[in-house]
Amino acid sequence: MVRGKTVIEKIENTTSRQVTFSKRKGGLFKKARELGVLCDAQVGVLLFSNTGRLYDYSNSNTGYTTLYRSICLSIYLS
């Protein structure tokens, strides 16, 4: 298992790519959640797989769109 150093390049095998996507999506969302809790930060993650599916995570109370809007406002005001 984990036979060698992982090379970061596109996984050509479709099944492997989808499995890896699913696993790493879970890992990324978990990391995002942890960062939000540990550091009291607002976090949003968007994923758009090459099969055309959307996945997102946000720890904002009011959801991703509100988080995005608040950030745009903050940029606008800065």
Partner DNA sequence: CGCTCTATTTATAAGAG
Partner DNA sequence: TCTCTTATAAATAGAGC
Q: How far apart are CA 69 and CA 36, in angstroms?
A: 18
- 24 scored as a contact of a copy of itself (CB under 8 A): yes
Least CB distance to DNA at residue 70 (A): 21
Least CB distance to DNA at residue 58 (A): 18
Q: Please tell me whether residue 55 adopts helix, strand or coil conformation.
A: strand
Least CB distance to a copy of itself at residue 1 (A): 17
Comparison of 55 and 68: residue with beta carbon closer to DNA: 55
Phi, then psi, of 7 in degrees rounded to 5: -90, 130
| Binders of DNA in range 3-42 (CB under 7 A) | 3-6, 15-16, 18-20, 22-24, 26-28, 30-31, 34
Q: How far apart are CA 27 and CA 11, in angstroms?
A: 18
